[in-house]
Amino acid sequence: MIRPLIGTARIGLRFQFAYRSDMIMTVLTLIAQVFLLRMVWTSVYSGQQQAQGMTLQQLLAYLSLANLQAFATTPIIPRIALFRIRTGIVFFDLSRPTGYLPQLAAFQAGHTFGGLLLLAPAVPVVLLVGSITPTGQPLDYAATLLLGYAISVLLSLLICMIGFWTLETGAIALLYRLISQFFAGTLVPLSFFPGALGALAEALPFKYMGYVPAAVYVGHLSEVDVWQALAIEASWAAGLTVLLWAVWQRARRRVVINGG
């Protein structure tokens, strides 16, 4: 059972490298985005020592890291699942003994690993532009990032399940990506969100996919906050796993092959 999933992960890895010119342009866009964010926020601070408990140095490091994380960990499986469900190829996925959900998760893991490899040449540039220095909480950062990634994959798998009812998830996936990246804090840290918007961001799981790991890295969260975040992340992951299993039990009965 493990070897077929490893093979699926390799396919995900090769898929990441299939369109290298596109990926090179994406990496260059990432570097440009980090640079522009640096310019904008340096201007916003305009000599202030700190804002919302963050120094300018911390903020620049946070934004750079949050965007690096988003580049490497944004799931692609909704796009893959949509194509396979729409064309009926999903029949072959369902017939394999490894299970449909583990196949998607393995493909995503391979794709993410490929993204990390592609990102490696750009990291020194982003580190320089974004003023990222080594963290004092490497284990806390790794734990929050891994759990956040698990939440991201689980939410994406739920979007994949919608395709069994609608046969079209492109618009939903795009809307989800916009909302999730905004509330993950890739452009503005959640500590800057005002009133009701900040309360909504706190209630949603998206902050654990970006804001929390990056805030831990730059030392913006206390040790107590980190442990609380880890507990909530684990709860979200467990709850989403149960929900995904329940939705999958219904989705598998709605398979449509070539319109029939």
- Residue 218 inside a domain? The answer is yes
In the block, which residue shows the tokens 């893959």?
80
- Residue 196 inside a domain? The answer is yes
pTM score, two decimals? 0.87
- Residue 259 inside a domain? The answer is no
- Measured CA to CA, the distance from residue 12 to residue 151 in angstroms comes to 19
**110 neighbors 172 (Cβ within 8 angstroms):** no
Cα dihedral 90, 94, 99, 103 in deg (nearest 10)? -20
- Residue 92 inside a domain? The answer is yes
| Domain span at 240 | 2-254
- Measured CA to CA, the distance from residue 69 to residue 78 in angstroms comes to 19
**Which residues, other chains included, contact 74 with Cβ-Cβ below 8 Å and sequence gap of 6+?**
152, 177, 181
Q: Tell me the per-residue pLDDT of 110-152, one tens digit each, with 9 for 90 and over.
A: 988 888 887 777 777 666 665 677 777 889 999 999 999 999 9
Residue 55: DSSP 8-state:
E
- Residue 174 inside a domain? The answer is yes
**Tally of domains in the chain:** 1
- Residue 14 inside a domain? The answer is yes
Give the pair of three-digit tokens for residue 128.
């320089």
Q: Output the tens digit of pLDDT for each of the chain's 260 residues.
A: 678 788 888 888 888 777 767 777 777 887 788 888 888 887 877 777 777 777 888 888 888 888 888 877 788 888 888 888 777 787 777 788 888 888 999 999 998 888 888 777 777 766 666 567 777 788 999 999 999 999 999 999 999 888 888 877 778 888 888 898 889 888 888 888 888 998 999 999 999 998 999 989 988 888 899 999 999 999 999 999 999 999 998 887 766 555 44
- Residue 260 inside a domain? The answer is no
